[in-house]
Structure 1
Amino acid sequence: MRQNRPSEFDESRFQEIIEYYDATRFDYRVAWLSRDNPSIHFGFYGQGADKHAAALENTNRVLAGLAGLSAGCRVLDAGCGNGGSCLWLARHLQAEAVGITPVSSQVEEARRLALLHGLAERVEFRQADYCQAPFESESFDCVWACESLCHAPEKKAFYREAFRLLKPGGRLVAAEYVRARRPLPPGGERLLLSWLNRWAIPDIDTPEEHAAHARSAGFQEISLRDYTAHTWVSLKNLHKIARRWLWADYVLYGLGIRSKAQHHNIIGSIRQFQALNQGLWFYAVLTARKPAGGKG
């Protein structure tokens, strides 16, 4: 049965995420973004992508390939950030791309970039909750989530909503941080959470938990692949940048020039790589398909 979800959006439920991304916009702009690629995700190295900007673009190319996207498809980017993936999909696949994020400043920036690149007719950006999206059931050929599912307090709710939104036969593709197991040893759990909580991430799930959520929602052909080797250079680069900024960050934070959220972003970036080196988590790509006869 098709249904329309309410379009009202309550920012109060997303204050931590909104404050984090608003506070760290400058950091991302200086350390990560390029003029031609506004994506704030990690880069997939290899396949000819050996530089930062090329690796960021390659992430989109790899995810689109794994999802089996074709020209003219309709894609929902669930947690679109500044709209980088939507713009890539519209430019390279002539896709109709819809991006949603709870962060209004990201919506504004994504719309500005769409106009700048002449893609405003092919993309749409809205402030919305990807676990309760304001779209009719069976509206999209693909639901795309690049390092955004982690912010959901209840991952199961994301999978249910993605299933509802997909047309029969539609595909889900999600690039995500995945914990190695649950529970971790106490010291490992503390280290993992000291990264996650500084990035406004409540927790991350295990491979088994992701697969169980997807199956429970109704998905088939569920695959979760380890892509850490492809993102290692990108992850290490962020760690290097954070270490380089650390001393200045402590000084500026102590002087009240940098905020707590900005300070936490630097510390979290260091903790992330430490947790990776200890085998507490890995970078994965999950794909799944809604059955051709499935109803959302």
Structure 2
Amino acid sequence: MAKNHVPGSSDVGTLYDRMSEVLMEALGDNIHYGFWDDDNDDTPVREATDRLTDMVAQRLDLAAGARVLDVGCGTGRSTLRIADRHRAHVTGVTLSPREVQLAMTQPGVGLGIGQATFQLADAMELPFPDGHFDSAYAIESIAHMPDRGKAIAEIARTLRPGGRLVIQDFFLAHTPTPRELEALTAVWDIFEFPPFGTQKDFEDDITAAGLDLVAYENITTNLRRTMRLIVSTLRSKAEEPEIEKETRDFLAELVVALEQLMATGIIRHSLITARRR
């Protein structure tokens, strides 16, 4: 699958330094997808994105006092929510210095029954010893890894035997046609993604990392409203005259790329639960 640019850690960090606050505006302080039961579900976006966080936490099967790793913690809202609701100690890592700043200003940092901490770290080279965490999760962050298999293996290394890893991420419905590949490549280049994998690619990487697959859930229809909300926010931002022209042009480019990708229908969304052997 052709793609010239494979993003490095600094590329991804710079992207989220630039985009996190815009995405927060679209997604209710989170920067991940929301979950709606169906098209008639009128849940506000903040509750829908929190709902997805809660679904991830439920699959982690957390006990009070558990040590948890949040890979790609974004604004820290999910990190804090899981720490407080499950009385867990959650370490959030991100490549974006701006996201660490945003996370540290979230209400409740340093307070509550649970504890959340944040730091800059690369999931490809995690600064934690083997077996350090009871569980880990990655919400829409594995897709950014230049080597998905290596990233999953590195996360697995930090889990104790029996520890769970929950991944919510994108995958391809099928091998893309030339038209689909053109739309995908535009989004990959702008959003600093390497090529997405298929369901089988994820399953193979999970097995190779010493993990057993517990469940693989396709939640595409429940998440699809999110992209429409993101596009709407980006379009509005691109029309704000007080924003510098370079940024407006960048946002307008994002809107075009995302709309073209949405029209293909090739992207699927997975919720994966695995267990460390």
Bin the TM-score by the shorter chain.
0.7 to 0.9
Give the alignment's TM-score, normalised by structure 2.
Answer: 0.87
Percent of aligned positions that are identical: 23
Tell me the C-alpha RMSD between the 2 structures. 2.6
Q: Give 1:76's aligned residue.
A: 69
Offset, 1:243:
4.6
Q: Give 1:3's aligned residue.
A: none
1:213 aligns with 2:205: yes
User: In 1, distance between residues paired with 2:14 and 2:261?
Assistant: 20
User: Which of 89, 97, 119 is equivalent to 2:90?
Assistant: 97
1:290 aligns with 2:264: no
Correspondence 1:273-288 to 2 at 5 A:
273-274=262-263, 278-288=264-274
Give the alignment's TM-score, normalised by structure 1.
Answer: 0.82
AA matched with 2:247: R
User: Which of 45, 53, 58 is equivalent to 2:51?
Assistant: 58
Unpaired segments of 5 or more residues in structure 2? Answer: 1-6
Q: Which range is displaced more, 280-289 or 20-29?
A: 20-29
| 2:146 counterpart SS class | coil
User: In 1, distance between residues paired with 2:242 and 2:254?
Assistant: 14
| 1:258 counterpart SS class | helix
User: In 1, distance between residues paired with 2:186 and 2:242?
Assistant: 21
Q: Give 1:270's aligned residue.
A: 259
| 1:60 counterpart SS class | helix
User: In 2, distance between residues paired with 1:269 and 1:158?
Assistant: 26
AA matched with 2:262: F
User: In 1, distance between residues paired with 2:31 and 2:113?
Assistant: 20
Structure 2 CA distance for partners of 1:261 and 1:117, relative to 1, 3 Å: farther
Contact 1:114 1:123 survives alignment (8 Å): no
Contact 1:49 1:58 survives alignment (8 Å): no
User: In 2, distance between residues paired with 1:259 and 1:165?
Assistant: 41
Structure 2 CA distance for partners of 1:179 and 1:156, relative to 1, 3 Å: same
Correspondence 1:147-226 to 2 at 5 A:
147-182=140-175, 184-226=176-218
Structure 2 CA distance for partners of 1:72 and 1:271, relative to 1, 3 Å: farther
Report Cα offsets for 1:210-252 as digits up to 9, x if no partner.
Answer: 1001111111134321101211222332234345555x27x88
Offset, 1:191:
0.8
| 1:283 counterpart SS class | strand
| 2:73 counterpart SS class | coil
| 1:131 counterpart SS class | helix
| 1:113 counterpart SS class | coil
User: In 2, distance between residues paired with 1:15 and 1:191?
Assistant: 24
Contact 2:87 2:114 survives alignment (8 Å): no
| 2:102 counterpart SS class | helix
Q: Give 2:224's aligned residue.
A: 232
User: In 1, distance between residues paired with 2:35 and 2:62?
Assistant: 18
Report Cα offsets for 1:116-160 as digits up to 9, x if no partner.
Answer: 683597111110001210001101111100001111011001111
Runs of 4+ aligned residues of structure 1 deviating over 6 Å after TM superposition are none
Contact 1:23 1:262 survives alignment (8 Å): no
Q: Give 2:247's aligned residue.
A: 258
Correspondence 1:117-156 to 2 at 5 A:
118-119=111-112, 122-156=115-149
Unpaired segments of 5 or more residues in structure 1? Answer: 1-11, 292-296
Offset, 1:194:
1.4
Structure 2 CA distance for partners of 1:84 and 1:26, relative to 1, 3 Å: closer
Structure 2 CA distance for partners of 1:109 and 1:193, relative to 1, 3 Å: same
Q: Which range is displaced more, 88-97 or 228-237?
A: 228-237
